[in-house]
Structure 1
Amino acid sequence: MSRNVSDDRAAVPRRPHLPLRPLWLCRVCAAPWPCPVARLALRQEYAHDRIALSIYLCTILHDAAADLYRLNPHDGPDPKALYMRFLAWATPRGDPP
């Protein structure tokens, strides 16, 4: 009995793309977290509760800002860049108010 490629992929557990604190880099791909894979996973996880996703991301933004400022207090994190990184991508587009 031969196994096809898709069976092999399903058997390999995927590592979640979680943040490495206090650097806020992805533990898997080393991209700034939330990386594209983490964003997709969060959108799927919170697909039916966008308000909860926004609250979660605001909390994470707060933690990241504190950690990143602690690492580099002289050139602290740029608020606009943090907003774009943690919140802007999750803002619903084209939804009625």
Structure 2
Amino acid sequence: MTGLPDGVRPHLPLRPLWLCRVCGTPWPCATARLKLKCEYADDRTGLSVYLCSVLHEAIADLCRLDPANPPAPHATFTRFVAWAKPRLPD
């Protein structure tokens, strides 16, 4: 049970490529990012910790796929972590 309406598939990563299983774009896709922000709305630190662990898994997978061309560190960090920066207090 995913908590989603029938016929709606969650936007999860297809490993080891780290593409979205639904839309085929680099994961986390826009839909996955929105869902993650909603899931972790009250725990932005938890979201950052989760994304950092996913970042490390993705780097390991992508390096195994093509050891001669590892992912660019800045672009990979931006893709997996930077978009979820915590909200600043008012």
Check the 8 A contact 2:45/2:86 in 1, yes or no: no
Cα distance in 1 for residues equivalent to 2:6 and 2:54: 29
Q: Which residue of 2 aligns with 1:4?
A: none
Structure 1, unaligned stretches of length 5 or more?
A: 1-9
Q: Which residue of 2 aligns with 1:31?
A: 25
How many pairs does the alignment contain?
Answer: 86
Please tell me whether residue 67 in structure 1 is matched to residue 64 in structure 2: no
Q: Percent identity?
A: 62
Calculate the TM-score normalised by the size of structure 1.
Answer: 0.84
State the Cα deviation string for residues 3-47 of structure 1 (Å, max 9, x = none). Answer: xxxxxxx96431100000000000000000000000000000000
> Greater RCO between the two (CA within 8 Å, min separation 6)?
2
Q: Which residue of 2 aligns with 1:51?
A: 45
Alignment RMSD (CA, Å): 1.4
The structure having more radius of gyration, on CA atoms, is: 1
SS at match of 1:31: coil
Moved beyond 4 Å, runs of 4+: none
Structure 2, unaligned stretches of length 5 or more?
A: none
Cα distance in 2 for residues equivalent to 1:45 and 1:74: 36
